[in-house]
Structure 1
Amino acid sequence: MMREFLPCIAMIMVQIGYAGMNILSKLAIDSGMSPLVMVTYRQIVATIIISPFAYFWERKTRPRITSATLFQIFLSSLFGIAGNQCLYFIGLKYSTPTIGCALTNLLPAVTFIMAVPFGMEKVGLRRKAGQAKVLGTVMCVGGAMLMSFYKGIRIPIPDSAIHWRYVDSITESGSSNDKVTLLGSLILIASVISWGAWFIMQAKVSETFSAPYSSTALMCLMGSIECGIIAVTADHQVSAWSLHSSIRLITSLYSGLVASAFAIYLMSWCIEKKGPLYVSAFSPLLLVIVAVIGWALLADKLYMGSVVGSVLIVMGLYAVLWGKDMEMKEKNSVDEKNLSLEGEEDKEKGKLELPVYSNGRA
């Protein structure tokens, strides 16, 4: 019985780990740490942690690394790390962890839209699966637009009794006006689009290079170099790389260890046991955890636009996942039917081609 619940427990741990990363990252950024520097440190830590696993676990099974493979991994790092993570944490600087987590749930819808032109996904409006994916995509996009352009009234909820006073000592003033919130949402949406492009490219990498730990280590290494170049170009001051503040050091280590290495391992294990849809279904849990922690410790305020937009995005997410699940079941059913027909044909063929012995009997 416990083994059945292990994937569920693992995914809850992943979402809690990601929630901690979002909260710590917001605090580090508000303390004055550059989002680009933070992403660079995260990738350096992740590379150091993942590389030994890639070397020892895949040294006998790792395919030959060709120039084409390196180029594909380079593109994956460009979109999946330099593009996605840099844009996400810059957007987080001008937003809140709750909004950041809500807009991240756009990923399945965005990936679906981007995969259609490449033939990796089919719309299929005549089938329920296709209708669900399209409707879910529309709901996700609508929820994102609502969160970006409509703030609404503040929801009257009582202040938390356990507000973290440390936050007040490091948070910069004047970072929550309307213009900044809109800019943050738009940058966060751009990060999701970059992440969707990474999914398309990573699918190609997996087809030609079946060594997930090695490809992840190479991607993190390339990503750390790319983010480092971007960070140095954006800010030439050596002080930007300082880890004198405890929150900066903790965030850099936590993000690399928990949010990259630990989370990748657990999600890979859960995908192997339960499949990718099972893993995707836990995404809205992150939004709930971050919203509660943000209210309890950071004194975040909730507004009607954010709440309604989040609900639309989560409903759209599950609609897309439901449609994809139905599509996979239909495909598996057709494959099983075809295999069954092929088996029957082979049996009939075997009966017709029985060997004839010298006495003339079959």
Structure 2
Amino acid sequence: MRGDCAPTLAMVAVQVGFAGLNVLSKLALDDGMSPFVMIAYRQLVATLFLSPLAFFLERKACREITRRVIIQIFFCSVFGATLNQVLYFLGLKYSTPTIACALNNMLPAITFIMAVPFRMETVGIRTLAGQAKGMGTLLCVSGSMLMTFYRGSLIKVWRSHIHWRYAEEMTSSSGNNASDQNMAVGAALVIASCLAWAVWFIIQAKMSKSFSSPYTSSALMCFMAGVQCFVIAAVVERSFSAWALGWDIRLAASLYTGLVGSGLAVSLMSWCIQKRGPLFVSMFSPLLLVIVSLLGWAILDEKLYVGSVTGSALIVGGLYSVLWGKGREIKQLRDVRQRTNGDGDDEGGTVAAVGLPLFSSPSKLPSHQVEAGQP
């Protein structure tokens, strides 16, 4: 039971950490901090945090690093750190934390679509599970399009009495959220970041089969991404003032995003991908939306509109439609494995007693079981 709960608790901790990341990052961006500089500092802090852990906990993993692993980690750094974070923080700069987190709920649908060609997921459109996954994907896409191109009227809710005065000053002084055009651009950038993140899930799942050392791979990924981000930031931001840090929200955001957003979160997500598969990791996105919505309303005095609320509902509904179909599919795969091993076999008895992880990837089963287990 402890082993079954550990990945779930790890992903809940990741989403709580990401909620704080969104709020602090938005405040730093409203304070005038460049998103390119923030990402560069984030990778630097994450590398300094992860390197000692990788050295002391996975010292022998260096012997398993091959040229293929280095190439895979490089592409993980490009898609999972550099592109993903650059696009996301640019999108956050022109939108709001709630909209950015809501659009992140497209991640399971995008991951599902991209995992099909790699035989990590099955479609089975003639089955109930396949239809649920297909319908959920359409709902996620529809909700994201609604949030991107339609704002609607303001939803009036009671005001929170615990606003952070500093946050109110930063939000009121920033004009990024006033333009509907900027909001649409921000939403489109967040969707593009989800595409990059889904690519990272696929590469990470492939790499974890041959190199299962999350701290070492995360440290190398953050180091490579740090070099890439510093080069990009140096080209875009040539003024020394853009890089200056004081005892303010910029320093807090840089440290928090590096320690929690990259150091802790990337390690936990890499470990959970290895244990349960990429879809399991992406299923926790709605929890982030709930936490950020509450923080945005309570601290940032964030406004809610009909388009964003309706789009969020469609995305969350589509997400759980995909997950319901996936859960039904995995249950049938488990039944096939039990019948294949036989009730009298020791391995079959173990499987029958313990069961397969609910959202493990079908690619971890033998190919004949995957094909036979299609609903």
- Alignment TM-score > 0.5, same fold: yes
Deviation, 1:201, is 1.4
Change (3 A) 1:215 1:11: closer
The CA distance in 2 between the partners of 1:179 and 1:269, in whole Å, is 39
Give the counterpart letter for 2:225 in structure 1: G
Give the counterpart letter for 2:162 in structure 1: I
Deviations 1:43-63 (A, max 9, x none): 111111111111121123554
Q: Give the match for residue 173 of structure 1.
A: 174
Deviation, 1:68, is 2.1
Deviation, 1:278, is 5.6
- Equivalent positions of 1:201-220 (< 5 A) are 201-220=203-222
The CA distance in 1 between the partners of 2:238 and 2:344, in whole Å, is 66
The CA distance in 1 between the partners of 2:135 and 2:96, in whole Å, is 27
The CA distance in 2 between the partners of 1:331 and 1:2, in whole Å, is 23
- Identify which of 302, 305, 309 aligns with 1:303: 305
The CA distance in 2 between the partners of 1:63 and 1:299, in whole Å, is 52
Q: Give the match for residue 21 of structure 2.
A: 21
Q: Give the match for residue 72 of structure 2.
A: 72
Deviation, 1:118, is 2.9
The CA distance in 2 between the partners of 1:295 and 1:164, in whole Å, is 11
Relative to structure 2, which stretch is displaced further, 60-69 or 213-222? 60-69
Deviation, 1:7, is 6.1
- Equivalent positions of 1:186-197 (< 5 A) are 186-197=188-199
Deviations 1:143-185 (A, max 9, x none): 0000001101100112222222212433443212111000000
**Tell me, what secondary structure is at the counterpart of 2:302?**
coil
Q: Give the match for residue 321 of structure 2.
A: 319
**Tell me, what secondary structure is at the counterpart of 1:314?**
helix
Q: Give the match for residue 333 of structure 2.
A: 331
Unmatched 5+ stretches in structure 1:
345-362
The CA distance in 1 between the partners of 2:189 and 2:257, in whole Å, is 20
Verify: 1:31 aligned to 2:34, yes or no: no
Change (3 A) 1:75 1:272: closer
> How large is the RMSD of aligned CA atoms in angstroms?
2.5
CA contact (8 A) 1:63 1:210 kept: no
Give the counterpart letter for 2:82 in structure 1: A
- Identify which of 200, 203, 215 aligns with 2:202: 200
The CA distance in 2 between the partners of 1:60 and 1:7, in whole Å, is 24
Q: Give the match for residue 359 of structure 1.
A: none
Change (3 A) 1:226 1:4: closer
- Identify which of 178, 182, 185 aligns with 1:183: 185
Percent of pairs with identical residues: 56
Deviations 1:92-126 (A, max 9, x none): 00000000100111111001111223333221111
Taking structure 1 as the reference length, what is the TM-score of the superposition? 0.88
The CA distance in 2 between the partners of 1:113 and 1:312, in whole Å, is 18
Q: Give the match for residue 252 of structure 1.
A: 254
**Tell me, what secondary structure is at the counterpart of 1:260?**
helix
Whichever of the two has the greater Rg, that structure is 1
Q: Give the match for residue 350 of structure 1.
A: none
Unmatched 5+ stretches in structure 2:
347-375
The CA distance in 2 between the partners of 1:330 and 1:4, in whole Å, is 19
Deviation, 1:64, is 2.5
The CA distance in 2 between the partners of 1:322 and 1:124, in whole Å, is 14
The CA distance in 1 between the partners of 2:208 and 2:275, in whole Å, is 18
- Equivalent positions of 1:77-156 (< 5 A) are 77-156=77-156
Verify: 1:228 aligned to 2:230, yes or no: yes
**Tell me, what secondary structure is at the counterpart of 1:126?**
coil
CA contact (8 A) 1:62 1:210 kept: no
Change (3 A) 1:268 1:215: closer
CA contact (8 A) 2:164 2:300 kept: yes
Equivalent residue pairs, number: 344
Relative to structure 2, which stretch is displaced further, 236-245 or 166-175? 166-175
CA contact (8 A) 1:139 1:316 kept: yes
Give the counterpart letter for 1:328 in structure 2: I
Deviations 1:330-353 (A, max 9, x none): 222212212229969xxxxxxxxx
Give the counterpart letter for 2:209 in structure 1: E
CA contact (8 A) 1:144 1:309 kept: yes
CA contact (8 A) 1:146 1:309 kept: yes
Taking structure 2 as the reference length, what is the TM-score of the superposition? 0.85
CA contact (8 A) 2:204 2:273 kept: no
Change (3 A) 1:276 1:118: closer
